[in-house]
Copies of this chain bind each other. A is one copy, B any other.
């Protein structure tokens, strides 16, 4: 108990849920939006930007990286982060596909 029963679902369902879950936290949304706002990659000022302790931010960055939502390259003492299109585009495609299908069969709505 307490553990998600992943074996019960398809590989794709688990994959997409994992990526979505990684963005399901305001701090990680804030990180994504900060990376968007800045016109380039940022090196080493995420910690100053967010109201969380450094280890906490490091943890959130790790999760975003693990799911290909951001990517980082070592740049001397600091790390240069930017958005990874890979993850974002997967989400974009997933939701626009669902939205499109919804529009096509609007007729059948009974609720």
CB pair A108 B13 closer than 8 Å: no
- For A22, what are the chain B residues with a Cβ–Cβ distance below 8 Å? 24
CB pair A111 B24 closer than 8 Å: no
- This chain: how many copies in the complex? 2
Whole-angstrom CA separation of A99 from B105 in the bound complex: 26
CB pair B98 A95 closer than 8 Å: no
CB pair A5 B52 closer than 8 Å: yes
A111 to chain B, nearest CB (A): 4
A34 to chain B, nearest CB (A): 10
* Nearest B residue to A41, CB-CB: B110
CB pair B33 A13 closer than 8 Å: yes
Partner pick for A92 among B8, B83, B88, B98, CB 8 A cutoff: B98
* Nearest B residue to A23, CB-CB: B20
Whole-angstrom CA separation of A109 from B39 in the bound complex: 9
**Is A6 interfacial (CB 8 A cutoff)?**
yes
Interface positions, chain A 78-111, Cβ under 8 Å from B, are 80-85, 88-89, 91-92, 95-96, 98-99, 101-102, 105, 108-111
